[in-house]
Structure 1
């Protein structure tokens, strides 16, 4: 009887422990230099690199991590010319979508072989600028190795004194993960 009770107790403990270690362990991550709070399901790595955005070289900072078969990332850069915010977001969106073979909506038809144009919806978190280029979308594309990828992605901006900070947030996964993306995007808070 005692042995049977120990087996049952051990099995129950194993179930409880498994429930305490979910594949997506959401946590709030402060990013003071970005004036941002973000919810991530994993501990992020940080990187900085110089990129060209809307015709100007900028230091682009990136936080990213991988969990449960998805990559979660938030990038940001500071523009000294606030008038360039919309152009920068548009350029960033076009570059991101082109990298996975998705056409950006335009007056002309997409190039032959390109995926259907992305459908955009406004994305303006509290404190962000209400720019027409501040959008969120979900698209299917291809990674450089040719495998399928779904990108849940958003671009937005905010004024900071005489400068503007532009942001890009994305969840890359093999298949659409709308509930995961909703949690990720809802956790973006400008400070």
Structure 2
């Protein structure tokens, strides 16, 4: 099913799906990503956030990774990242998806909220653990379409 959605989304002239690697995670983005690593503070702790992201067809697509010295610290950071991400979009309603797993190793939600300018935004977040790294895959748009989410989330795999 996800393959069909990815294939359908790939036919859109504004989307050019390609593989992107961030740490051990590989997924699909619909455009050539910009990359950056920057320090962020999560509940008083400063960590380095590695990110790849791009904008296409009215949506912002991002893949982020925070690597820690051990898996227990990475799990704690993933929980803090989840809180900060939901706060950043002023999440008013949060809807876990059917495949969300458990909140300690993998968790998917779709939210309705507001962007920093106060405009309505929908976001789909997926947080995952892999070894000593916490990952976040996200899509933000005024109104999310299934192909936008399935393309990036359905293409996730670990090396």
Is residue 2:24 matched to residue 1:35? yes
Structure index of larger Rg: 1
| Aligned counterparts of 1:56 and 1:133: Cα–Cα separation in 2 | 21
Q: 1:81 to 1:68 in 2, by over 3 A?
A: same
Aligned CA RMSD, in angstroms, stands at 2.0
1:69-120 residue CA offsets vs partner (Å, 9 max, x unmatched): 0010001010113212332111111111111111xxxxxxxxxxxx23x132
- In the TM superposition, residue 21 of structure 1 has moved relative to its aligned partner by 7.2
2:29·2:151 contact (CA, 8 Å) conserved in 1? Answer: no
Structure 1 residue aligned with 2:139: 171
- Whether 2:154 is the aligned partner of 1:186: answer yes
In structure 1, the residue corresponding to 2:75 is in which secondary structure? helix
Separation of aligned partners in 2, 1:135 and 1:30: 20
Question: Does the Cα contact within 8 Å between 1:54 and 1:88 map onto a contact in 2?
Answer: no
| 2:125 is aligned with 1:153 | yes
| In structure 2, distance between residues paired with 1:50 and 1:23 | 32
Structure 1, gaps ≥5 residues long: 1-19, 103-114, 125-129
1:103-143 Cα offsets, whole Å, 9 max, x none, are: xxxxxxxxxxxx23x1324546xxxxx76352011111101
Counterpart selection for 1:87 from 57, 71, 76 = 76
What residue in structure 1 maps to residue 67 of structure 2? Answer: 78
Equivalent in the alignment of 1:64: 53
Match of residue 141 from structure 1: 113
Following superposition, the deviation at residue 174 of structure 1 comes to 0.8
Q: How many residues align?
A: 148
User: Which of the two has greater strand per residue?
Assistant: 2
TM-score (norm 1): 0.70
